Amino acid sequence: MSLRRKLLYGKPKAPILPVAEHHQIRDFSIQIGAATLHGWLALPRGEIAGAILYFNGRRESPTTIFRFLGVMKHQAVAVFNYRGLGPSSGEPSEKTLVSDGLHVLDWLSAETQLPLSSIVIVGRSLGSGIAVQVCAMRETAGLILISPFDSLLNVIRQRLGFFPNFLLQDKFNSAQFIQQVSCRILSITGSCDTTIPTELTDALFQRWDGELTEHEVLQGRHRGLLRHPCVENAVALFLDRLIDEQSVARNPQKVAP
């Protein structure tokens, strides 16, 4: 792995596997060419109404999203270490991470026997750059973006000032791909986030005219954003709405609340 990519992706924190009341958590491995991806799947102990695929932020444990399992009682939740990070092998790059994301999404659909229209993609910070591209290539039930940006280059420039374009190998230009996303989006930001300021999130959605729900955490910063109870509530409401709409679609005689 090149030094620039080591600095970009960083070493992820160790996984935290909670004792979940409504889920059973197991690990899994997926072979993609010469690379092996390692991850975890939280399966509901009862009915599976949908599934979630999470793309974590830089140096964040993929299992961070498991803190929300309490409001995902009927959702299967899949997370994995990006290639070259943690126990996953291979060399990370923007192209390979997006390709891996598509492979894991298709694996999750087959594993749960759910159509893509029942799967929600969640991307946090750096992971939002992968999530946007995956949703631009697959029609999923919804997309949740936590601290998203218009381009990684702008994130770096707002912190360092001038930064030559050619020095950044993986640009994650989400503003370019957001126009191809057709599902509903929930955007979660922190008003005091200095790593990815809200103006970079606003710049992303200036390019998109779909159905957007925005939730800003007052005094919320980049680190610890998922620990705010209001974020869990926003995610729960978004998922509940999607489940209700899918139920009505399957049974048109029902009336959505």
Q: Indicate if the pLDDT at residue 59 is higher than 80.
A: yes
Q: Are 34 and 88 in contact (CB under 8 A)?
A: no
Q: What is the pLDDT of residue 93?
A: 95
CB 51 within 8 A of CB 76: yes
Selected residue with higher pLDDT from 9 and 238? 238
What number is the average pLDDT over the span 63-77? Answer: 95
Output the CA torsion 135→139→142→143 (10° steps). 0
**With bands split at pLDDT 50, 70 and 90, how would you rate the model's confidence at 246?**
confident
Residues 248-253 have a mean pLDDT of 66
What pLDDT, on a 0 to 100 scale, did the predictor assign at position 168?
83
What is residue 99's DSSP assignment? H
Nearest to 101 by CA among 61, 124, 135, 151: 135
> What are the chain's domains?
3-248 (3.40.50.1820)
What percent of the chain clears pLDDT 90, i.e. is strictly above it? 81
pLDDT of amino acid 251: 67
CA-wise closest residue to 127 among 56, 178, 190, 66: 56
**Would the pLDDT of 257 be above 50?**
no
DSSP letter for each residue of 187-240: EEEETT-SSS-HHHHHHHHTT--S-EEEEEETT--STTGGGSHHHHHHHHHHHH
Instruction: Please state the length of the chain.
Output: 257
* pLDDT of amino acid 201: 98
- Beta-carbon contacts of 226 under 8 Å, excluding residues fewer than 6 positions away, are 64, 65, 67, 68, 124, 146, 232
Q: List b or e across 23-61, with b for residues whose CB sees 16 or more CB atoms inside 10 angstroms.
A: bebeeeebebeebebbbbbbbbeeeebbbbbbbbbbebb
Residues 117-167: tens digit of each pLDDT: 999 999 999 999 999 999 999 999 999 999 999 999 999 888 887 777 777
pLDDT given for residue 166 in this prediction = 74
- Residue 126: count of CB within 10 angstroms of its CB: 27
Q: Which of 17-21, 107-111, 153-157, 253-257 has the highest mean pLDDT?
A: 107-111
Sign of the Cα torsion 111, 113, 116, 119 reads: negative
Binning pLDDT at 50, 70 and 90, where does residue 28 land?
A: very high
Query: Band of the pLDDT at 254, cuts 50, 70, 90?
Result: low
**Percent of the chain clearing pLDDT 70 (strictly above):** 95
Q: With cut-offs at 50, 70 and 90, classify the pLDDT of residue 253.
A: low
Can you read off the two tokens belonging to residue 129?
């750059």
Q: Are 113 and 25 in contact (CB under 8 A)?
A: no
Which whole number is the average pLDDT over 63-92? 95
* Averaged confidence pLDDT in the chain: 92
State the pLDDT confidence band at 44, using cuts at 50, 70 and 90: very high
- Cα(41)–Cα(62) distance, rounded to whole angstroms? 11
By the 10 Å C-beta count (0-12 exposed, 13-18 middle, 19+ buried), 253 is classed as exposed
Mean pLDDT, residues 70-94 taken together: 95
Q: What is the pTM of this model?
A: 0.94
pLDDT tens, 212-241? 999 999 999 999 999 999 999 999 999 999
Choose among 173, 136, 129, 177: nearest CA to 153: 173
